[in-house]
Chains A and B, each alone.
Chain A
Amino acid sequence: MCLDQIKTGEEVIIKEIPDSMAKTQFIRFGIGEGSSVICHTKIPFGPVVLRKNRQEIAIGRELAKTITVERSTHVRGKNA
């Protein structure tokens, strides 16, 4: 599954960020491959906004399409 397919409030694990520059920037923001993130907002046809703890990141739709994610297996409290 790719990042553009997740729904608002859903929690996923980042599997692969193929673009090296994007990956570098993700790491600085605090998100690496294997990190668990929550979909904060999805702008229709536009960027996906992810949240990890208190950190919010906006990712353009085209970039989101290239990032592979996996649904979290463990279910957390639904406070997103």
Chain B
Amino acid sequence: MPKQRKFNILEHELVPKHEVLPPEEAARILKELGVTPQQLPWLRVTDPVARAIGAKPGDIVRIYRKSPTSGETIAYRYVVGY
């Protein structure tokens, strides 16, 4: 049997879409929510998804979660370095 290509975890049904925000937008979002980055939920750089999308510590990541109550919701996570 032919060896299958390495599976990309971003395609898995459990993994919602993640995207790294550009700095200007990240600043705008933080202001809109009125929080410091540390007050957001964290995403570790060692997280497989963080590695797959190339997030660096200090980035803000936007997550499009599928929600059973409201269809789609947007969540943010702050990338931390450990």
Q: Do A and B come from one complex?
A: no
